[in-house]
Amino acid sequence: MTLTLALAEKIIDGTRLYAAENNIKPLAVVVLDAGAHPVAFKREDKASLYRFDIAMAKAKGALGMGFNTRDIAEKAKNNPVFFASVTAINGIELALSPGGNLIKDANGNILGAIGISGDTGDNDELCAQAGIDAVAAQLENL
């Protein structure tokens, strides 16, 4: 299965709806396919300039390591020397903060990832999860 543009847009819409309802700061939101290539991206007005790069690095990092960035950040606390060395490798992007979540179908196959930056890591992650939840029914049928 590939993650279509239509699905990616619904995920981003779900994210932004949650953000609007919960008074979240302006977000940058990106959805990548399983190969870590961008499908759709939106930067809300007033989001600062690095938000795009950080959102990308969260989504790429989740796909690169195979875990949500919350879990990766947790591991990194116990092994900072390894993660410092890995993030210095040319081509590896990995923002060690919540807000990069894997998008999976009902069988656990990875379809892609969402990456968000703009508010706290915890809030970024709530928005990411809200986006994925908004297409839960469709992910079941993929």
CB contact at 8 A, 28 and 58: no
Handedness of CA 15, 134, 9, 92 (dihedral sign): positive
- Residue 113 or 134: which CB sits closer to a copy of itself? 113
Nearer to a copy of itself, 72 or 126 (CB): 72
| Interface contacts to a copy of itself, rule CB under 8 A | 2, 4-5, 9, 30, 33-45, 47-50, 52-54, 57, 63-66, 73, 76-77, 79-97, 121
The angle formed by the CA atoms of residues 130, 131 and 137, to the nearest 5 degrees, is: 95
Cβ 24 to a copy of itself shortest distance, Å: 14
Burial (CB count <10 Å: 0-12, 13-18, 19+), residue 69: buried
Measured CA to CA, the distance from residue 17 to residue 33 in angstroms comes to 22
The DSSP letter of residue 35 is: T
Q: Give whichever of 102 and 126 is closer to a copy of itself, judged by the CB atom.
A: 102
Report the residue number, 124 or 134, with the smaller CB distance to a copy of itself: 124
Q: Closest approach of Cβ 103 to a copy of itself, in Å?
A: 14
We find the least distance from the C-beta atom of residue 127 to a copy of itself, in angstroms, to be 15
In the complex, minimum distance from the CB of residue 136 to a copy of itself, in angstroms, rounded to a whole number: 21
> Any idea which residue has 């977000």 for tokens?
27
